[in-house]
Amino acid sequence: MIYTVTFNPAIDYVVHMSDELLAGMTNRTLSEECYFGGKGINVSTVLKNLGYYSTALGFVAGFTGTAIEESVKKRGIGADFITLPEGISRINVKIKGKEETEINAQGPVIPEFAINELFDKIRGLQDEDILILAGSIPSSLPSDIYERILAFLEGKNVRTVVDATGDLLKKVLKYRPFLIKPNNHELGEMFGKTLTTIEEYKEYAGKLRDMGARNVLISMAGDGALLLTEEGKAYSMPAPKGTVKNSVGAGDSMVAGFIAGYLKSGSYEEALKMGTAAGSATAFSEDLATVDQISALYNLISGKES
């Protein structure tokens, strides 16, 4: 079974404007959309699109939390959220005009008893299950929550995936996560370096593997992706060509594609191809990629007839 954790899910309210945002004035939109998610939920959605069922864990609150949970269920994803007694799940406002402006909310306070409930759910994970932790953590959670979760699972044969940055990522490496996925800029920031070449990416990704990560996947936007495996191999994959419409969820899609590709083939190289295809397909779409969009790019990357 695959589980994803989204600590602070949100409704993204996207408004499109023909002109710039005018402060202190009435502004009118051209169109609006709502997207229900968060990084872990995005991973679950793309996994479902690729035919892999998962259960989404995390915290929701208020009427917005109810809407998020209902949206997850409608997508055919298992929803096992903890409902908080106070507050509301976030509504993030994304204003798209001549410039893009974002207003991201903080979300509800997560009390200690709710954290304990999450650990009770994680306690039920079995050997060979996959747990995917993605994104930053809200201020009401302890800063070492990722580390606590991996320590809690130590001794179980649960494959953990961590998509985080900085110390949040560094501190879990000693627990040998199955996969980590910083991007190339985050990789450099972790070591106080500005990295610009593939050889530099390989060098510093290797340091993360030496620190404990089993497999290190580096997303590089238009330059594709780099994978260093626990087998000591390095694979690079150029990104397919296309028009970028949306960067939100591309990294989450890459994680989902990688896991789906690995479960299907048992090959890290094939997993990298599927991860690259999924990440790119979302970047070229208005929303998270469908299976047809991912398959078309996977066939292009693999040199197959679509």
Q: What is the C-alpha to C-alpha distance for residues 205 and 197, in angstroms, rounded to an integer? A: 12
Residues contacting 250, CB < 8 A, separation 6+: 219, 279, 280, 282, 283
The active-site residue out of 120, 252, 287, 292 is 252
* Alpha helix stretches (DSSP H) within the chain: 39-49, 62-74, 112-123, 145-152, 166-170, 184-190, 198-210, 250-265, 268-283, 291-302
β-pair partners for 133: 5, 162
- Is 252 tagged catalytic? yes
Residues contacting 193, CB < 8 A, separation 6+: 200, 204
Q: What is the C-alpha to C-alpha distance for residues 294 and 291, in angstroms, rounded to an integer? A: 5
- Catalytic residue positions? 252
